[in-house]
Amino acid sequence: MAILNSQHLRDYPARPDKVYLYGTCLADTLFPESGMDAITLLEQQGIEVLFPMGQTCCGQPAYNSGYEQEARKVALAQIKQFPLEIPIVIISGSCGGMMRHHYADLLRDEPGIEDFCNRIFEFTEFLVHVLKIKLQDKGASEKVALHTSCAARREMGVHITGRALLSQLENVTLITHENESECCGFGGTFAVKHADISAAMVADKTQSLLEADVVRYVTADNGCRMNINGSLEYQKQSLRGEHIASYLLSRVTGGTDGEPS
pLDDT digits (tens, 9 = 90+) for 31-46: 999 999 999 999 999 9
pLDDT of residue 259: 55
pTM for the full predicted model: 0.92
pLDDT in tens, 155-197: 888 889 999 999 999 999 999 988 888 888 787 778 778 888 8
Confidence of residue 90 (pLDDT cuts 50, 70, 90): very high
Question: What span, in angstroms and rounded, lies between the C-alpha atoms of 255 and 251?
Answer: 6
Please provide the average confidence, as pLDDT, over all residues in the chain: 91
Asked whether the beta carbons of 13 and 89 are under 8 A apart, the reply is no
Question: What span, in angstroms and rounded, lies between the C-alpha atoms of 222 and 118?
Answer: 23
Asked whether the beta carbons of 191 and 227 are under 8 A apart, the reply is yes
Q: Is residue 258 pLDDT above 80, yes or no?
A: no
DSSP label at residue 91: S
Question: What span, in angstroms and rounded, lies between the C-alpha atoms of 141 and 177?
Answer: 19
C-alpha dist (Å) from residue 222 to 3, 130, 246: 25, 23, 12
Confidence of residue 256 (pLDDT cuts 50, 70, 90): low
Burial class of 122 by CB neighbour count within 10 A (0 to 12, 13 to 18, 19+) = buried
Give all domains of the chain, ordered by start, each with its CATH number.
Answer: 18-130 (no CATH), 142-253 (3.40.50.1860)
Q: Is residue 88 pLDDT above 60, yes or no?
A: yes
